[in-house]
Amino acid sequence: MDAAIKVNNIIKDYGNVRALNGISFDVKNAEMFGLVGPDGAGKTTTIRLLCGLLTPTNGSAELFGFDLTKDRNKIQKEIGYLSQKFSLYGDLTIDENIEFFADLHGVKDYKHRRDELLEFTRLTPFRTRLADNLSGGMKQKLALACTLIHKPKIIFLDEPTTGVDPVSRRDFWKILSNLQKDGVTIFMSTPYLDEAERCNRVVLLNDGKVLSFDTPKNVKASIKKSIVEIVCTPIIKAYKLLKEKSNYEVQMFGDRLNLALDDYQKDFTQIENLLVENGIQMIDHRIIPTSLENVFIHLINEIKEVSS
């Protein structure tokens, strides 16, 4: 069976609010799959549905060939779920937290597995430390160890690196990469588009709708534009000017602007003239590779243009 997850036209309503509007995609076995989008896009709702914690209003989903609504108990035995607010017990040690979750999942001979997970997450030296006394990154690694104690085939991670320091974030990704090599299917949501680049395939989700679904490489290749990075001063004046006086897509990243151009040779000359005529100094510019963030904003702008 090639597909670990199949989602077919799922709709989820909360009263009069439509959180998911007919989303469809599939996840392959041992794939690292990314669900990408801003807050309110429907990421957490999607994960909670696939974990059997919510019931879809319409549509269907299968995990391991089992129907999500009919075979919920069978599915939940084979999955692990690390939520945004995973509940560790602060007055229990690392060892005791893992033991608790082993009991919860009915894992009897858990000690060897616990030792493996502690070594795997590099938490062995801290196993007697109370969870309340761990750093944010160590808490996330402990939460992951608790999620993995019953050897799930799929793990669902809801924004697992939010609020985690860069070093711990890098360690967390190494752990996920090793899990994937062991054949675990990883389904994660993230607001970080640089993290999504690491996934085998991604769904770009916005306002409960799928904007794009493919490999990061193919998603980035889907917009046929040149992305030009401009360094100029004053940057805010330049950004406002280009937004108001040009038809180009412009994004501001710190002290730089990104513009999506159809024809670099023709369009850049017009942009340069517009900036200089308005007293803006051009310091540098270059063509850069398209990022998922460029694609995401481009697709949202297309939707706005169609709606207006």
pLDDT at site 306 = 67
Chain-centroid distance of CA 211 in Å reads: 14
Q: Closest by alpha carbon to 37, among 257, 224, 211?
A: 211
pLDDT digit string, tens, across residues 98-136: 999 999 889 988 999 999 999 999 999 999 999 999 998
Q: What pLDDT, on the 0 to 100 scale, is given for residue 2? A: 75
Residues in Cβ contact with 28 at an 8 Å cutoff, skipping those fewer than 6 apart: 2, 3, 4, 185, 200, 201
**CA 209/CA 40 separation, integer angstroms:** 11
CATH for the 3-220 domain, from 3.30.559.10, 3.40.50.670, 3.40.50.300, 1.10.1760.20? 3.40.50.300
| Strand intervals (E) in 110-195 | 154-158, 185-190
Can you tell me the distance from the alpha carbon of 104 to that of 122, in angstroms, rounded to the nearest whole number? 23
Structure confidence at residue 196 (pLDDT): 92
In the chain, where the domains are located: 3-220, 224-289
Is 3-220's fold the same as 224-289's? no
Distance, first Cα to last Cα, the chain = 44
Total-model pTM: 0.89
pLDDT at 307: 66
Among 99, 116, 117, 95, CA closest to 108:
99
- Give the pLDDT of residue 146: 94
Provide the CATH topology of domain 224-289.
Alpha-Beta Plaits (3.30.70)
Residues of the chain with pLDDT under 50: none
Lookup: tokens for 129: 């430390």
pLDDT score for 235 = 96
